Structure 1
C-alpha cells in the first residue's frame, strides 16, 4: 500500500499491520515527530492536566499565537493525540484516549532516567560538533 492510497474516501480504517514495512516506519516516525515539538508537547501536558481546553485557553498558556496553536492542534488531532468537541462557536480539545496520558508518563520517565545523555544530545550537532543553538544531535 502506498502513501497515495492510504485514507482515501470510502476506505475502511487502515491498520498499521496492513502497511508495508517502509510505510509503517514512516507512519510511526510521523507519530513520534508530532510529540517532538515543544509547543505540541506542552499542549498535551496541559490537556492531560486540565482535561479539556479551548484554543483561547491554550493560547494563553503557551508562547505562540492563536493561529500557531490552531496549527499545532490540527497536527495533534490528525495524528490521533487529541479530539475536538464543538459547542456553538467554541472548540474544546482533549486527549483522544487515556493511553495518551500513559504515553506522556512513559516519555517523561524515560527522559528522567536519561537526563545526562539527553543533555549531551542537546549540546552537539548530528556530526558530533558542539552547538550553541540547542538543536542537538538528533
Structure 2
C-alpha cells in the first residue's frame, strides 16, 4: 500500500470509512440533496429563500439545515437577525453531483453528463 493512499484515507483500513458512511447517511434525504444543489448554484441563501426554492416550509428546511450544519456540510453567516447558509467546502457538492451522475447511469443509454454538448457545471 502506498503512503499516499494511507495518508489520504483511501484504504480499507482507513479510520475515515465510518465517518464517510455518516456523511452518506446525512445526504440520504431528497430535501438535503436539494439544499446542497441550491447552495451550489447560489453560493449563499437564507432559510426563507431556500424554503421558497424547495417549496417547503421554512421550519422544515431549518431542521434539515441544522443537521447539515452539525455534520459540517453547511456553514452560516449572520447579518442582523438573518442567517445565511453556504456549503462548508466543495466536497458535498461533488458527492451530490457524482450521485446524480450515477443515477443517470442507472437509467440506461448514454447519460446526459456524457454528451459532448452538455454545459459544464
TM-score if structure 1 supplies the norm length?
0.62
Residue of 87, 102, 121 corresponding to 2:79:
87
Give the Cα separation in 2 of the matches to 1:28 and 1:104: 14
The CA RMSD over aligned residues, in Å, is 2.0
Range with bigger deviation, 53-62 or 92-101: 92-101
**Residue 103 (structure 1) aligns with:** 95
**Residue 6 (structure 2) aligns with:** none
Give the Cα separation in 2 of the matches to 1:25 and 1:105: 20
**Residue 4 (structure 1) aligns with:** none
**Residue 113 (structure 2) aligns with:** none
Moved over 3 A (4+): 23-27
**Residue 42 (structure 2) aligns with:** 50
* Equivalent position SS for 1:93: strand
1:99-138 equivalence runs, <5 A: 99-115=91-107
TM-score if structure 2 supplies the norm length?
0.69
Q: Whose Rg is larger?
A: 1
Give the Cα separation in 2 of the matches to 1:97 and 1:27: 16
Structure 2's unaligned 5+ residue stretches are 1-8, 109-121
Give the Cα separation in 2 of the matches to 1:105 and 1:39: 15
Residue 63 of structure 2 is aligned to residue 71 of structure 1:
yes
Give the Cα separation in 2 of the matches to 1:34 and 1:102: 15
Query: What is the CA distance between 1:64 and its match in structure 2?
Result: 2.3
